[in-house]
Chain A
Amino acid sequence: MSFLLTCPNCGPRDVNEFAYAGEVTTRPSEPPDLRELTKYVYFRRNVAGVQREWWYHRFGCEIWFLADRDTRTNEVLGVELPVAAEPKAAPEPAIPDTPAV
């Protein structure tokens, strides 16, 4: 990876300054059953396309922010600071019918 990422605070910086923390997931609002919990903890959509994800400016201003990145090209379409409501993941993916833990 050698693209530039724009920190909402600091502007465009080399991606090596940042820590990547994966796609945005939605924490269940109610106590989940085992299947829902497993889905939340272990399953990722892993899209080939635009993905909403967490980044942390570790060697910079130390802020968490969200980026929309195309996983195929590493093109970053936009970045933003998280707003007060819990960030929503993109529409539900089809989860394969696999046994739980």
Chain B
Amino acid sequence: MTRLDPQPGERLDRSRQLSFTFRGRPVTAFAGDTFGSALFASGQRVFSRSFKYHRPRGLLCCSGGCANCMMTVDGTPNVRVCVEPVHEGARVEPQNVFGSLDRDFLSVVDRVGGPFTPVGFYYRTMIRPRRFWPYYERFLRNVAGLGRVDKHGARVHRYDTEHRAVDVLVIGGGRTGLRAAHDAAQRGEKVLVVDENPPRGHSDGFELVAPATAIGIYEGGLVPVDAGDVLLRVRAKRIVVATGTIDQPLVFPGNDLVGVMLPGGVRRLVREFALKPGERALVVAGDDRALECVGDLRAAGANVVDLVDLRERTPAAMSASGRRGRVETVTVDGKRFECDLVVASGAPQPAYSLLAQAGATVTYDAQRGIFVPTELPAGVEAVGRVTGDVGGHSGIPHASYGNGEAKCFVCICEDVTEKDLKRALAEGFDSLELAKRYTTVTMGPCQGRLCHLASSRLFARECEVDPAEIGTTTARPPWSPVKLGLLAGRGHEPAKRTSLHHRHMEADATMMWTGAWRRPHSYGDAAVEASNVHEAVGVIDVSTLGKLLVLGGDAAAFLERLYPNRFADLKQGRVRYGVLSTDAGRIIDDGTIARLGDDSFYVTTTSTGAEGVVEWFEWWNAVWHMDVEVFNVTGALAAVNVAGPRARELLGRLTSADVSPEGFKYLDARQAAVAGVTCLALRIGFVGELGYELHFPSVCAEYLWDTLLECGADLGAKPFGLEAQRILRLEKQHIIVGQDTDSESNALSANMPWIVKFDKDDFVGKWALAQVDEQGDRERLVGFEMQNGVVPLEGGQIVVDGRPAGRVTSARRSTKLAKSIGLAWVPPGLAQEDTRLEIRVDGRLEPARVRLRPFFDPEGERLRS
């Protein structure tokens, strides 16, 4: 039996049994087992097939470091089953297997592929004949990579991010780590300990998060900790690294056979999971901790056939061989042993990666044959074995025992052999960083834990230099594999809804995104909605407009400096259109500005521009220090535009205010109670018909909306959506910032020279616009009318003499005009009324004519009516 009698300190709770399936067959486990230990107990010895050669691989480190036990658990690939606790009903499947774990047909690569599959073989042996490359590629893509992601999988986990600030963060909950935590807690410091293993015992005076992995030390001492479904972003005044050491595999022929293990793995199997790792064991080790496994093996009833203490003698030759991937014999210095378990490790390597990421210097210690961290950055400490102090001296094995016959793996994750590394050197990849990229040594799932030291030492031996000269490769986060879902955090898709959102839903509107806003695209037929605005009256929800109050003694002067046109002379109760420019002259936003009083203005912005405009205003005032306050009231107020020839009649029914053409003129702003709701009514006309834009507290939105539609039912009042609005505004050649303008557009070239007042003292953008005025535009925004009725795509090309010369920014079919119309940027030479343009539509060139004036109501008679 593999499972032993209860061991002192085992993790198992033998009173509780769990079951899961492996390849569809049931496996039982005790509570406390990992999938790996339960499978081992059930007799499973081959846990995976190797990356490239598909060689059988078994448990090696048994501590979540190597790639040997990666399987797919409940559809999640690359789970290290040796550390993944069993849960009831789990489905476990092997991965990277073509066939079964015991018979993988791709293992043919291992037997015959040697000479054909050197490092980088896919770049040189699979390129001819060239026309076959798609087939090669399909094959390679199929066999390459580890694990498969379920392409149709849905998000099932909720990942979260948590910010933590502590005095001391201790990474590693071993003996020294806990002592450091305890000491700091005694001094009254707030301490957080993270450890990779499940917690045992209690923590006293400090917080222990386990199992959890610190995945890196980033700038500013930020340590992200993978705690399962939560990513802790920990900031500590002091970081104590107590990550210990990592057993290093020896490099000898057959060192990847199933049955070759590291001492720590043996210790865990015996002590924590009460498992007998093998019957006949050979131990090669070089330090006290590693040699403890001899006692463990004996306690488990295994026969230790020989023990090689590297401190006493370093073998000159060593190799292992076996059948079907399982170790059967080991030869050390000519002596042959029959065994099914080889525990082999060199000097334990400090797990310095986190320290190196934080900026520590790492140097090679020739005495001990390992890399040790030396100079540590401020705020970071190392305690325990990670400092390189592993108690006494340790024996140093040969860099490699390769004999040129069997494969001798330097990097077990990526199947990189000693021969591959030598070949890379011979080809001129003579720096460790280059050789790493070429051979992929240290780039596998273990991230160099088990192969960095070995590859450096081998490299040094082949180059005949000191390993200190070879140095280390750069340590970068993440130090442990981390799920992308954890880094992405919770799935947010923030949406802003207006206070009329539910009315739109009830009316079956098709909704669309405009920035973060959800807006009705149409309520059925946009063309009909547009016609209704022309013939009767329509209402549209424009609550998404940015709405700012600009108050203060300098308010007028402030706006005067920000906008190219004049505001000092704007009379109370009047509205003016404004375009915001940068000092480079570029248009950033537009909107209307109403003067409410001497010192108060009501400014609207584009739907997506509110926050940006507030920032822009505040920024300039941080420099100017004018007597101005800017309040963003976008969310507090709803807005509805009532537009159409019968808009006045509708409004007249709901308010006692004077809505006569004389009493409420075009570009007037009035306070008015509409159906009892206090509104700021602006007489403006983005859609080109007589229109009133009502701004009012958003709590009243549904009431006012319903009232407008009910009272106007006999007048034909109907809601219209964004699509109808876009048709209507295009008929008037009104621009939409961001749609018809881009980061290069300025007010002059966008055909609004009337808005730029060069006689003003100064305004943001004046100098740049003056340059444009002097030197001329590079392009001009013009309207166009298609000659044959087709509607070009937005972004479509304007073609002159066969070359692209401009682009379409907006195009729609206008039912009212029975024409296809649009706006486009064209070279200034073409910006003449009636110029013939050619526009590419579906690959054909279609004729169009330039129109510089609004297509509909060019004199604005309906607007002003």
Give the chain B neighbours of A82 by CB distance below 8 A. 622-623, 625
Contacts A3-B220, A31-B770, A64-B622 given; 20 further ones with Cβ under 8 A?
A1-B219, A2-B219, A2-B222, A3-B219, A4-B235, A14-B163, A14-B233, A19-B615, A28-B767, A32-B767, A37-B768, A41-B583, A56-B618, A56-B619, A58-B615, A74-B220, A81-B622, A82-B622, A82-B625, A84-B625
Beta-carbon contacts of A9-20 to B below 8 Å, as 1s and 0s? Answer: 000001000010
Complex Cα distance A73/B218, Å? Answer: 12
Complex Cα distance A90/B222, Å? Answer: 31
Give the chain B neighbours of A74 by CB distance below 8 A. 219-220
Beta-carbon contacts of A65-93 to B below 8 Å, as 1s and 0s? Answer: 10000000010000001101011000000
Complex Cα distance A16/B840, Å? Answer: 44
Q: Does B186 contact A (CB under 8 A)?
A: no
Nearest B residue (CB) for A1:
B219
Complex Cα distance A59/B625, Å? Answer: 23
Q: Does A48 contact B (CB under 8 A)?
A: no
Complex Cα distance A37/B618, Å? Answer: 23
Q: Decide: B619 and A27 in contact? CB cutoff 8 A.
A: no
CB distance from B24 to the nearest CB of A (A): 45
Complex Cα distance A41/B220, Å? Answer: 32
Within 8 A of B (CB), among A28-56: 28, 31-32, 34, 37, 40-42, 54, 56
Complex Cα distance A37/B582, Å? Answer: 12
Q: Decide: A31 and B767 in contact? CB cutoff 8 A.
A: yes
Complex Cα distance A2/B223, Å? Answer: 10
Give the chain A neighbours of B625 by CB distance below 8 A. 82, 84
Q: Decide: B619 and A41 in contact? CB cutoff 8 A.
A: no
Q: Decide: B768 and A41 in contact? CB cutoff 8 A.
A: yes
CB distance from B713 to the nearest CB of A (A): 44
Q: Decide: A27 and B618 in contact? CB cutoff 8 A.
A: no
Q: Decide: B583 and A40 in contact? CB cutoff 8 A.
A: yes
Q: Decide: B220 and A4 in contact? CB cutoff 8 A.
A: yes
Q: Decide: B618 and A64 in contact? CB cutoff 8 A.
A: yes
Nearest A residue (CB) for B762:
A31
Nearest B residue (CB) for A25:
B583
Complex Cα distance A96/B175, Å? Answer: 60
Within 8 A of A (CB), among B204-260: 218-220, 222, 233, 235
Complex Cα distance A28/B625, Å? Answer: 17
- Which one of B614, B767, B768 has the highest number of Cβ atoms from chain A below 10 Å of its Cβ? B767
Complex Cα distance A28/B163, Å? Answer: 43
- Which one of B218, B618, B622, B771 has the highest number of Cβ atoms from chain A below 10 Å of its Cβ? B622
Complex Cα distance A44/B583, Å? Answer: 15
Give the chain B neighbours of A64 by CB distance below 8 A. 618-619, 622
CB distance from B311 to the nearest CB of A (A): 44
Complex Cα distance A19/B619, Å? Answer: 12
Give the chain A neighbours of B615 by CB distance below 8 A. 19, 56, 58, 62
Give me the interface of B with A, judged by CB distance under 8 Å.
Answer: 163, 218-220, 222, 233, 235, 583-584, 614-615, 618-619, 622-623, 625, 767-768, 770-771
CB distance from A36 to the nearest CB of B (A): 9
With A27-B583, A32-B767, A41-B768 known to touch, is A21 a contact of B619 (CB < 8 Å)?
Answer: yes
Give the chain A neighbours of B614 by CB distance below 8 A. 62
Q: Decide: A34 and B771 in contact? CB cutoff 8 A.
A: yes
Q: Decide: B767 and A62 in contact? CB cutoff 8 A.
A: no
Complex Cα distance A28/B764, Å? Answer: 11
CB distance from A55 to the nearest CB of B (A): 11
Complex Cα distance A54/B623, Å? Answer: 11
Q: List 27 A-B contacts (CB under 8 A).
A: A2-B218, A2-B220, A4-B235, A14-B233, A21-B619, A27-B583, A27-B623, A37-B771, A40-B583, A41-B584, A41-B768, A42-B584, A54-B619, A56-B615, A56-B618, A56-B619, A62-B614, A62-B618, A63-B618, A64-B619, A64-B622, A65-B622, A74-B219, A74-B220, A84-B625, A86-B623, A101-B771
Complex Cα distance A35/B727, Å? Answer: 43
CB distance from A98 to the nearest CB of B (A): 17
**What 5 A-B pairs have minimum CB-CB distances, sorted nearest first?**
A3-B220, A64-B622, A2-B222, A84-B625, A41-B584
Give the chain B neighbours of A3 by CB distance below 8 A. 219-220
Give the chain B neighbours of A34 by CB distance below 8 A. 771
Complex Cα distance A86/B233, Å? Answer: 38
Complex Cα distance A65/B584, Å? Answer: 23
Complex Cα distance A82/B620, Å? Answer: 11
Give the chain A neighbours of B219 by CB distance below 8 A. 1-3, 74
Give the chain A neighbours of B618 by CB distance below 8 A. 56, 62-64
Complex Cα distance A18/B684, Å? Answer: 37
Give the chain B neighbours of A58 by CB distance below 8 A. 615
Complex Cα distance A81/B618, Å? Answer: 13
Nearest A residue (CB) for B222:
A2
Complex Cα distance A6/B218, Å? Answer: 19
Give the chain B neighbours of A1 by CB distance below 8 A. 219
CB distance from B235 to the nearest CB of A (A): 7
- Which one of B220, B615, B770 has the highest number of Cβ atoms from chain A below 10 Å of its Cβ? B220
Complex Cα distance A85/B334, Å? Answer: 86
CB distance from A16 to the nearest CB of B (A): 10
Nearest B residue (CB) for A54:
B619
Q: Decide: B623 and A87 in contact? CB cutoff 8 A.
A: yes
CB distance from A12 to the nearest CB of B (A): 9
Complex Cα distance A28/B618, Å? Answer: 20
Complex Cα distance A74/B222, Å? Answer: 13
Nearest B residue (CB) for A21:
B619
Nearest B residue (CB) for A29:
B762
Give the chain B neighbours of A62 by CB distance below 8 A. 614-615, 618
Give the chain B neighbours of A19 by CB distance below 8 A. 615
Nearest B residue (CB) for A58:
B615
Give the chain A neighbours of B622 by CB distance below 8 A. 64-65, 81-82
Complex Cα distance A34/B585, Å? Answer: 13
Complex Cα distance A34/B222, Å? Answer: 45
Give the chain B neighbours of A86 by CB distance below 8 A. 623
CB distance from A66 to the nearest CB of B (A): 9
Nearest A residue (CB) for B632:
A62
Complex Cα distance A21/B218, Å? Answer: 23
Give the chain B neighbours of A54 by CB distance below 8 A. 619
Nearest B residue (CB) for A5:
B220
Complex Cα distance A67/B554, Å? Answer: 28
Nearest A residue (CB) for B586:
A41
Complex Cα distance A17/B527, Å? Answer: 44
Complex Cα distance A93/B619, Å? Answer: 24
Complex Cα distance A37/B584, Å? Answer: 9
Nearest A residue (CB) for B220:
A3
Complex Cα distance A2/B235, Å? Answer: 10
CB distance from A7 to the nearest CB of B (A): 14
Give the chain B neighbours of A81 by CB distance below 8 A. 622
Complex Cα distance A84/B627, Å? Answer: 12
Nearest A residue (CB) for B219:
A2
Complex Cα distance A79/B619, Å? Answer: 16
Give the chain A neighbours of B770 by CB distance below 8 A. 31
Give the chain B neighbours of A14 by CB distance below 8 A. 163, 233
With A19-B615, A56-B619, A64-B618 known to touch, is A37 a contact of B220 (CB < 8 Å)?
Answer: no
Nearest B residue (CB) for A31:
B767
CB distance from B711 to the nearest CB of A (A): 41
Give the chain B neighbours of A63 by CB distance below 8 A. 618
CB distance from B215 to the nearest CB of A (A): 13
